[in-house]
Amino acid sequence: MRLTAVARNLQKLLDPKSLKTLDHYSQFNPSPLTIQQFIDFGRTASEEESFTFLKKELPVRLSNIMKEINLLPPNLLQMPSVTILQDWYSESFRDLVTFEDTDSSRTTLLSFCQTLKSIQTRHTNVVQTMAQGVLELQESHKVDNQTDMAIQYFLDRFYMSRISMRMLIHQHTLLFEPDADLNTRRIGMIDPACKLKSVIMEAFQNAAFLCEEYYSCAPDIEIKGQTMVRNEKGKKVGLSLVYPPPHLYHILFELFKNSMRATVETHGKAAELPEIEVLLAKGEHDVSIRISDQGGGIPRHITDHTFHYLVSTAPRPSMTPTKAPLAGYGYGLPLSRLYARYFHGDLILNSYDGYGTDAVVYLKTLTHEASELLPVFNKTSTRQYRTAIPTADWTDPSFTASRGLHVSRPSQLKKAA
């Protein structure tokens, strides 16, 4: 029944020829690129070469994730927001495969750039729309643990796929669109000398601005560690990394918002607020950024869930807010971790209940180790949507040793929190 419903859905969105093309592309694995490859490609490749790569790679990444959307629990697939989303993806897929057999004349290249721009615009609200779809499901159905696990598994892969496609599209348009700004040290989105302290300060100040708006106060910051290092010429310079600054900004902004909210909620507005402490370190392999707050910490039964989408201890703001909220969607941590993992970094939380929290961001120092991490649609991923959660084999039935986590519904968590 599930397959019929899915097939019907797809047939409505795609004509038989496009459906066949989708099947074809989804058989290829995405080709992950390293930051080094992005840089080399950006410095030396022509627009034509980029076009030739993208006209295959983008449909491959799109079709892989479109196939996975179809594996979602049938009642989630039927939610209005998910249908809208599938429609956007189908439209973009159709747009891209029109370039399949085209030459690379000037007109084609221009039209390809325009197509990428329109895909970017069409997909602007993908994150909110998918979140809305899950909320629609939660409001209209009882979501069991297995469905919840499948959704969490899917969202990580779906959003990672989106991050990666946006990266590819940005690289091409920033470098080759007719009014591309080439008078910059950046190579597309990547800054070969991304100054960590500047990104930290920008993220901190914007989070503090929001915090002031909500609580009329905000904690200060102290940056420690290897803020200044000696370059090859022995001159002292600010610590830098080869990285796309918007990704790092996204991660840090979310972490600062969380730390500020926790600090103000714990210490009250009147008292002197403890500073948020940032530690910077760069080794041969990893750059580490630790953000420590004294915001009371997170009890361990909640820490297990902080990386779940839509899990929040703040009241849920509107999906179309008039002013930017400080917290409440439960998307900050899981999305930030994806950004960190995208180039093989990571984000972890260490919390000390009753005291505070350390959030540590790890990024790769070496550009050839910073490789894209991409979801692949295959039998293994397909199985994940059907595998039942192992039945309880410990005295505490919510403890699932193989997954190392307690399985309890986010709604239960909200009540406990």
Ligand X SMILES: Nc1ncnc2c1ncn2[C@@H]1O[C@H](COP(=O)(O)OP(=O)(O)OP(=O)(O)O)[C@@H](O)[C@H]1O
Q: What's the min distance (Å) between Cβ of 263 and Mg ion?
A: 13
Positions in 321-340 near ligand X (CB under 6 A): 325, 327-333
CB of 266 to ligand X, least distance (A): 8
Q: Is 357 in the site for Mg ion (CB under 5 A)?
A: no
Interior CA angle at 59 toward 50 and 18, to 5°?
135
> Choosing from 258, 282, 308, 372, which is the catalytic residue?
258
| Beta strands, E only, 258-330 | 276-282, 286-293
Select which of 47, 57, 68, 254 is catalytic: 254
Q: Within positions 352 to 371, which residues make up the interface with ligand X, using CB under 6 A?
A: 357
Is residue 264 within the footprint of Mg ion (CB under 5 A)?
A: no
Cα–Cα distance, 303 to 352 (Å, whole number): 10
Asked if 370 is part of the footprint of Mg ion (rule: CB under 5 A), the reply reads no
Relative orientation angle of helices 145-176 and 47-69, to the nearest 10 degrees = 170
What token pair was written down for 93?
């897929």
**Which of 67, 123, 247, 257 is the catalytic position?**
257
Rounded-to-integer distance, Cα 76 and Cα 91, Å: 20
Query: Residue from 26, 92, 138, 259 that binds ligand X (CB under 6 A)?
Result: 259
Binding mask 211-250 for ligand X (x = CB under 6 A): ----------------------------------------
Q: Assess 175 for contact with ligand X (CB under 6 A).
A: no
Q: Which residues contact 411 (CB under 8 A, 6 or more apart)?
A: 138
Task: Count residues binding Mg ion (CB under 5 A).
Answer: 3
> Going by DSSP bridges, is the β-strand pair 221-225/276-282 parallel, antiparallel, or unpaired?
parallel
DSSP for residue 236: E
What minimum distance in Å lies between the beta carbon of 407 and ligand X? 18
The DSSP letter of residue 235 is -
Shortest distance (Å) from residue 138 CB to Mg ion = 19
Report what 295 binds from Mg ion, ligand X, none; CB cut-off 5-8 Å by kind: ligand X
Residues 6+ apart with CB under 8 A from 194: 240, 241, 242, 243, 244, 245, 248
Site track 274-313 with ligand X (rule: CB under 6 A), x = hit: -------------------x-x--x-------x----xxx
Q: Which long-range contacts (CB under 8 A, 24 or more apart) does 217-221 make?
A: 217/264, 217/269, 217/273, 218/260, 218/264, 218/273, 219/259, 219/260, 219/263, 219/264, 219/273, 219/274, 219/275, 219/276, 219/293, 220/273, 220/275, 220/276, 221/275, 221/276, 221/277, 221/278
Residue choice 223, 314, 360, 389 for contact with ligand X (CB under 6 A): 314
- Rounded to the nearest whole angstrom, what is the least distance from the CB of residue 159 to ligand X in the complex? 13
Among 258, 266, 294, 367, binds Mg ion (CB under 5 A): 258
| Binding partner of residue 298 among ligand X, Mg ion, none, CB cut-off 5 to 8 Å per kind | ligand X
Q: Is 137 exposed, middle or buried (0-12, 13-18, 19+ CB in 10 A)?
A: buried
**Residue 258 a catalytic site member:** yes
Instruction: Please identify, using beta-carbon distances, which residue of 138 and 258 lies nearer to Mg ion.
Output: 258
Q: Which amino acid, 108?
A: T
Helix (H, G, I), strand (E, B) or coil at 289: strand
Q: Which residues are 229's β-sheet partners?
A: 237
Interface with Mg ion includes 295 (CB under 5 A)?
Answer: no
257 is catalytic: yes
Residue 11: burial class (beta carbons within 10 Å; 0-12, 13-18, 19+): exposed
Query: Contacting Mg ion (CB under 5 A), which of 169, 255, 327, 413?
Result: 327
Q: Shortest Cβ contact with Mg ion: which residue? A: 332
Neighbours of 181 (CB within 10 A): 9
Catalytic residue among 55, 123, 250, 364, which?
A: 250
Task: List residues near ligand X by CB under 6 A.
Answer: 254, 258-259, 262, 293, 295, 298, 306, 311-314, 325, 327-333, 357
Task: List residues near Mg ion by CB under 5 A.
Answer: 258, 327, 332
**Which residues form the catalytic set?**
250, 254, 257-258
